[in-house]
Amino acid sequence: MLEIQEVLRIILGSYRVQLTVLERGCSSPEASALDYQFRDQLYDGFDYSAFAESMMDLVPADDAMDCRDSFGLHYVVFRGRGADRESYSFCGPYTYRAFSEEDFSRLMESHALGEDAMDAVRWYFRRIPVIRDGPGWRQMLTEFLSRSLANPDLELVRVTHDHPEPSRKKSSVELSGISYASIEARYAVETAMLNAVRRGDIAEATYQQNQFMGFTLDQRLTDPLRDARDMVLAVNTLYRKAIEQAAVHPTYIDAISGQFTVEIEKAESVEQVEALVPKMIRHYCLAVRRHSLERYSAPVRDCLNYVDFHYRESLSLESLAARFAVNKNYLSNRFHREVGKTLTDYIRQTRIQRAVRLLERTPLSMQDVAEQCGFSDANYFARTFKKINGISPHAYRKSMNRHPPSDA
């Protein structure tokens, strides 16, 4: 069963909002994750530990606060229960609307920041999630936290977080020098993100992707749409490499990668480009779940791939053993041990799975369906289909006409 914190992490991940858990007395480097080290780029020796604890001080026991800091960033903060009472969860940063140039000018003025910091501030806020349905967001979190904190009267109260910004501003802020994390931290997040994609873990990949977006701020803003496209194209390449390591066949990888390359270039706004990222995560992770052969040995993997793409041809244990230069008894035993069925059964079931798709989506005759799925005899095809599915192909197509398959 998932723990409450893990469930919340999954929920927040769908909004691209990070979850950071800190304890009182945490170090400044630990707490610097709260704003992706943004203030560390603007101020000398910013004390993130004091920054975090000043928000902790606002939160009563068994309650939660929506804290808005001096930069207009929001964090939902609440305290742990039982043995975790000294830990605090921070959901954020996020904003309730996209910032305009006027907003940026006011921020620069109120914080007495120089013009050299303007590009850095713009870049930073481009990476911050915007929660456009504020009432829905707050209601969702209120319901969730009231149950998890066992407080039916919980109310997500908005408070202004007045922690003072230090006066020691950096003499200059170079956009090209902003990483919002050490190189080690950036690579750690990238590795975690790609490992999640490689495992097919959609929730974890989404969460780590949100963290990764906070680090990818090292290019000067020229054409925002082109920059957004280039960034997401790079992510597309990273995901491609990740599922390649999961032993997904290149045919599947090329189909997904090519699809998103086209969609990225067709996008007409930064918002459309960035909206492709969660879709990419889902498609790549599902490809791993459906097609990864990482757990199989090389000869078994070779056979699985060959059958999947050559099921129309005449296939047998003997022909595949000869093709891959292995002893047929060795291949038979290893395939059965690793896949849980004989190679002959796998060939038969693969062909019938393809037949099901043709019966659902085409008006082909039974003879044509049989031939396209590697059966030379339509009667043998019908017997095999009924043995596996418990229904004849004719009856199956008839039932599909009454209940068309979903596109989901």
Give yes or no for residue 77 having a pLDDT over 80.
yes
Stated as kind and residue range, the H or E segment containing 66 is strand 64-68
Report the percentage of the chain scoring pLDDT > 70. Answer: 92
Give yes or no for residue 162 having a pLDDT over 80.
yes
- Higher-scoring residue by pLDDT: 241, 15: 241
Give yes or no for residue 407 having a pLDDT over 50.
no
Give yes or no for residue 40 having a pLDDT over 80.
yes
Give yes or no for residue 65 having a pLDDT over 90.
yes
pLDDT tens digit string along 273-282? 988 999 999 9
| Residue 50 CA to its chain's centroid (Å) | 32
User: Residue written as tokens 């244990």?
Assistant: 317
Report the percentage of the chain scoring pLDDT > 90. Answer: 63
Task: Provide mean pLDDT across the span 61-73.
Answer: 92
Task: Provide mean pLDDT across the span 230-250.
Answer: 93
Q: Which amino acid is it at 21?
A: V
pLDDT confidence band for 403 (50 / 70 / 90): low
Average predicted confidence (pLDDT) for the chain: 88
pLDDT (0 to 100) of residue 116:
80
Bridge partners (DSSP) listed for residue 130: 95
Calculate helix-pair angle for 183-199, 270-291, nearest 10 degrees: 50
- In the sheet that holds 157-160, the strands lie side by side as 19-23, 87-94, 74-79, 64-68, 157-160
Task: Provide mean pLDDT across the span 223-250.
Answer: 91
Give yes or no for residue 220 having a pLDDT over 50.
no
Give yes or no for residue 406 having a pLDDT over 60.
no
Task: Provide mean pLDDT across the span 290-299.
Answer: 93
Cα–Cα distance, 110 to 112 (Å, whole number): 6
Stated as kind and residue range, the H or E segment containing 295 is none
pLDDT (0 to 100) of residue 11:
85
User: What is the pTM (predicted TM-score) of this model?
Assistant: 0.64
pLDDT confidence band for 120 (50 / 70 / 90): confident
Give yes or no for residue 292 having a pLDDT over 50.
yes
Give yes or no for residue 129 having a pLDDT over 70.
yes
Closest CA to 62 of 78, 46, 44, 42: 78
pLDDT confidence band for 174 (50 / 70 / 90): low
